[in-house]
Structure 1
């Protein structure tokens, strides 16, 4: 499977989540409770996954995903399946130095008793011959979403999570996943830790994988806490500069990042020259649907610093908080914008 998307120039994909149907969860809401239970919930999630896949296919997305239809949240749904974390014992912590959240507590050694997403990935694999990408939370972002009363060391806990993620990733690969992506928004915040052990724990999570691997580093969903934080970052967002040199040297294949409507200077991409880059050309913090030409313009700018055979047009982040109609429009714009550039490159 590994080479199936290599022959397509600028293969498109999404960063991860897509809106859930209203019969499964509350629309445009993060952490929405499920509206179904038991057997109906299992069936409802599978139906939602099919719908999400269909919408990606209709929009012309090349590398498809589950749209994260079977999970409530990109981090905690994975953690819920692990031993050593008590969800009834909650503490308030500061998430990525931005907002307070009530989170579960690590009370003992963390371990994974059984696969978390492997059945869902197998189900997705049965529905399509297209290359599929699966997202997992990265070790640093996982520890940032917990209160640790056991290890009392962010680094120790991150290494434990990296081992667990590696077990899951190997089984996802065996289930037919072509790209495994680790979501690490925390890489944009904890710069010293990223370079001291964050990238090293990420490399531990991908150890021994033969499929392609990606790390997604963004400025977050379009929720108020994130948009308020962005307003404090000034006219140039240079956070990527801190992690890029070490990521460029790392064994991760693809770096996924936020470009469109952001204040990230495009020339920072020069720091990861040689890596494949998923260039976020769709802004997920607005309901305005990009025109294909706006998408093309972001991709054109990126092509100054990324070779065409290494550029993967993508969304800035997940689209869970958006309406399905807006998400649909944005996916179509992404495909159409990539097509404009493909034509330009083939001349």
Structure 2
């Protein structure tokens, strides 16, 4: 029997200090060669164990084997030159030095499939695997070849579909596409972003998620949030079309955000991963705070379609904080489960 309100994380979890510098995005590896492969697998085992101990239902690799949620995938593709770098504004928020698309993009071999097989061998629980979404990939590069965001995104969608099919064959139950860009480029999302996402999930039988958040708890993102006013209605722009899409689950940011939860009515019928854990603070939520967010969401989401989750990835947080937040998520979901059962 399926668990009611199954909990999961939106993506990354902190890496052990022996693998990479803690509390930092894009942190360089401390190990090399064969030892690095062993170290990544050990970190994945630890991350899985911490999720299990916290009572998380749908587990992941915690993104232990990758430095960054977008660029690690892109590093394995042909047509992108990481030596040739340009400064671009990512998500219309902050400047970053990014690699350049210099020719046709292709995937010469699978990227995460061996890691997914390793995770699958460690657990009988449902596993979720995150991939970058096509639009967010485009937004993390300088394009000197296609000269069209839409054309490049379409090529990435085809590549992601190849990877997703192999992940499904490796035993992944849920494949998530991270699209923070969907909260920024509304016209593009509706014109071609969702179509590209549907190309990426074509032919899959496993469940699919689009994760749309307001970003990691880094300064560039928290500063941007300060400019958004008392109501964050960005989801309103993309939800109507997502409601009509083939994506199974929509993952969004709720706790400590200014997202009016009534916007969830726009995607009624979809499964919703409700972000009930704030990743932009070291303060650990109480189970009751988590329960309160979930109760509010239940006004707009049927109980059998609500999946308690974190707002975003937790890579930049201290490990003990992330651990406490996972436990709070689990305990908060349990409170609401008991209420629903009664």
3-state SS, counterpart of residue 80 of structure 2: strand
- What's the counterpart of residue 346 of structure 1? 341
- What's the counterpart of residue 241 of structure 2? 246
3-state SS, counterpart of residue 92 of structure 2: coil
3-state SS, counterpart of residue 124 of structure 2: coil
3-state SS, counterpart of residue 199 of structure 1: helix
3-state SS, counterpart of residue 181 of structure 1: strand
- What's the counterpart of residue 3 of structure 1? none
For residues 158 and 58 of structure 2, what CA distance do their matches in structure 1 show? 27
For residues 157 and 103 of structure 2, what CA distance do their matches in structure 1 show? 16
Matched, 1:99 2:94: yes
Matched, 1:280 2:275: yes
| CA displacement, residues 132-171 of structure 1 (integer Å, 9 cap, x when unaligned) | 0000000000000000000000000000000000000000
Q: Compute the displacement of 1:7 (Å).
A: 1.3
- What's the counterpart of residue 255 of structure 1? 250
For residues 36 and 173 of structure 1, what CA distance do their matches in structure 2 show? 30
Matched, 1:154 2:149: yes
Residue-pair matches, total: 342
Matched, 1:322 2:317: yes
3-state SS, counterpart of residue 301 of structure 2: coil
Unaligned runs of 5+ in 2: none
For residues 221 and 171 of structure 1, what CA distance do their matches in structure 2 show? 28
If the length of structure 1 is used for normalisation, what is the TM-score?
A: 0.98
Query: Of 165, 175, 186, which residue of structure 1 is paired with 2:160?
Result: 165
For residues 218 and 341 of structure 2, what CA distance do their matches in structure 1 show? 39
Q: What is the RMSD computed on CA atoms of the aligned residues?
A: 0.4
For residues 191 and 211 of structure 1, what CA distance do their matches in structure 2 show? 27
Unaligned runs of 5+ in 1: 1-5
Matched, 1:220 2:215: yes
3-state SS, counterpart of residue 9 of structure 2: coil
- What's the counterpart of residue 6 of structure 2? 11
- What's the counterpart of residue 182 of structure 1? 177
Structure 1 stretches (4+) deviating beyond 4 angstroms? none
